[in-house]
Amino acid sequence: MEKYSNRFEAGAILAKLLDHYKNRADVLVLALPRGGVPVAYEIAKYLHAPLDVFIVRKLGVPGHPELAMGAMAIGNVFVFNDQLIKDLHIPRSAIDRVINEESIELNRRQQLYRGTRLFPEIKGKTIILVDDGVATGATMRVAIKALRTFEPEAIILAIPVADQMICDLLEKQVDQLICPLIPEQLYAVGAWYQEFGQTEDEEVFELMEMARKEMEG
């Protein structure tokens, strides 16, 4: 299977598969920062749709932050891996500490990326939800759950790469799923990009500004 050269190419490929949503006033593109923003930028530009961020934070196991025991999103929406928490005997006090830490980071990013701008209207909108790939699905599941509370007309999930099991799981939770690359063994999202450096806060901010100016212009 061919790898994507970078996140922008992945977004351009996804954008062509979303042609049906081009130039529609009811469409809003939401990216999971930070890595989802370059992908979503290309989609929003092609569709001529507004771009914003939907901030979700992984809740890592204490001492093993790369292992997700859950995730949280704006509005205090949570998804937990109850079986993992039970198997590892993680106490409630430890979970609360992680939630507090990630709440601070979630609010920091909210302030940094959006500033004083209000969160966009979601009710009745067709939301195209974007990330640069999905490994465990924990953050995406909480993003979908949180978005549903805002009563969108539809949620379209656009992701460049994920394995079949994750796609099958997420497809049941959204109105449409578009994923062009479904390897038999995912290993890691970054393995399917030639260039997969960390997306920094400054790049997120710049892309958001560029998207706003393109919509205004």
Q: Report, as an integer, the average pLDDT of 47-72.
A: 91
Contact 73, 55 (CB under 8 A): yes
Predicted local confidence at residue 58, as pLDDT: 86
Pairing label, strands 154-158, 126-130: parallel
Name the pLDDT band for 35 (thresholds 50, 70, 90).
Answer: very high
CATH topology of domain 7-55+122-216: Rossmann fold (3.40.50)
Q: For the segment 131-148, what is each residue's pLDDT rounded down to a tens digit?
A: 999 998 888 988 998 899
Digit-coded pLDDT (tens) for 170-181: 999 999 999 999
Residue 114 has a pLDDT of 80
Closest CA to 54 of 152, 149, 154, 131: 131
Of 141, 75, 132, 65, nearest to 106 by C-alpha is 75
Cα 157 to Cα 55, 161, 199, 206, distances in angstroms: 15, 12, 21, 24
- Is residue 98 within 8 Å of residue 60, measured between CB atoms? yes
| Main-chain dihedrals φ then ψ at residue 8, nearest 5 degrees | -65, -40
pLDDT digits (tens, 9 = 90+) for 59-70: 999 999 888 898
Q: Which two tokens stand for residue 60?
A: 């890592």
Every domain of the chain and the residues it spans: 7-55+122-216, 58-113
122, 169, 171, 176: which is closest to 149 by C-alpha?
A: 122
* pLDDT reading at 217 higher than 80: no
Q: What is the pLDDT of residue 1?
A: 67
pLDDT tens readout for residues 80-122: 989 999 999 999 999 999 999 999 999 988 888 887 788 899 9
Query: 19 to each of 15, 27, 129, 145, how far by Cα in Å?
Result: 7, 12, 15, 26
pLDDT computed for residue 128 by the predictor: 98
What is the arithmetic mean of pLDDT over 25-52?
97
pLDDT of 26 over the 80 cut: yes
Share of the chain above pLDDT 90, in %: 75
pLDDT for 156: 98
Q: 127 - beta bridge partners?
A: 28, 155
What confidence score (pLDDT) does residue 77 get? 85
3-class secondary structure, 127: strand
CB 124 within 8 A of CB 147: no
Q: What is the mean pLDDT of the chain?
A: 93
